[in-house]
Structures are given as C-alpha cells and as structure tokens.
Amino acid sequence: MDTRFNLFENEIGSRFAKRFAGTALVLHDASLPRSTQELVSLRASQINGCGHCIDMHVKEAAAAGESQVRLHLVAAWRESTVFTEAERAALALAEEGTRLADAHQGVSDETWALVRKHYDDDQTAALVCLVALINAANRLAVITHQKGGSYEAGMFAAALG
C-alpha cells in the first residue's frame, strides 16, 4: 500500500493541518491526564485501523512513561486489571464515540454517567473533543494511506515548533 496523497505538500491540506494541529495543542494543555489522552487516542486508532496513529500514540505514551503491559492491553481493556475506573470510563467513551454507526444509541447513558463521575467539566470537554479529534485524524490518515512505523516520539511537537 503506497501513500496516496501528502496533505502537507498541498496548500489547502497544509493550512488545514496547521489549524488541526492547533486544536490538538488545546487538548494537550488540558487538565485531562496525558496518559488518559494517549490511551484514548490509541484505542480509537485501533478501532479505526489507523497504523500511523497507532504508531504515534504508542510511541508517545511509552516516551511519557506508559508501561508496555498497559499499552499491549488497551485493545482488551475490559478483560484487563491494569486500568483505573476513570481510565475505563474514558476508554468506553472512546469506543462508543468511535463506533457511532454501530450503535443505535451512540454513547450510552451508563458510559456518560461513568465519565461524569470521574472527570470534571474541563476534563469531560477535553475527553469529548479528543474522541472527535482522533477520529478525524484517523480518517485523514486512513483515507490517504499514511503508514505506521516511522514515527518517533516528539515528532508531532517538533513539527509544531
């Protein structure tokens, strides 16, 4: 599979990518724990089959100190003991918010109640926006066939600086 299109080499794509990255910075600076952000981004990317984003979020999480055990178990978080209740609520929101077409109810009331139990208003806003943002990023990368494997931790931040 070859990359279909490089958005960064196109004027419209490049302008969009800069603004898109700016929204990611808002979330990066939010009070939602960084580890939770990486786990949520990883889980949505797994569901969407986005190799580029899986590569990025595994490496960023590992560089930030996330354990290999937790990273390996994100795909099976319901059958794992290594995630907190708050992380479980965030992962459930990530899954239900990613699989909107698969569920007639979208995000369940039960999942929403768990999110609200564990996260304040700012963290909830960041979590909802993160789920939307990572799904958009997955779609951009999957549509254009961006491959995983070459990302190095810190590349995203360096590109913004």
- 31-77: pLDDT as tens digits: 999 999 999 999 999 999 999 999 999 999 999 999 999 999 999 99
Q: Is the separation of the CB atoms in 11 and 100 below 8 Å?
A: no
Q: Is the separation of the CB atoms in 147 and 1 below 8 Å?
A: yes
CA end-to-end span of the chain:
31
Tokens at 78, concatenated? 């319901």
98 CB neighbour count, 10 Å cutoff: 21
Query: What's the chain's average pLDDT?
Result: 93
- How far apart CA 94 and CA 43 sit, in angstroms, is 7
Average pLDDT over residues 94-121: 93
Of 60, 134, 146, nearest to 97 by C-alpha is 134
In the chain, which ranges are continuous DSSP H helix?
A: 11-28, 34-48, 51-63, 68-73, 85-98, 109-118, 121-143, 155-160
Q: What is the pTM of this model?
A: 0.93
Q: What does the pLDDT read at residue 1? A: 67
Q: What does the pLDDT read at residue 2? A: 84
- 21-44: pLDDT as tens digits: 899 999 999 999 999 999 999 999
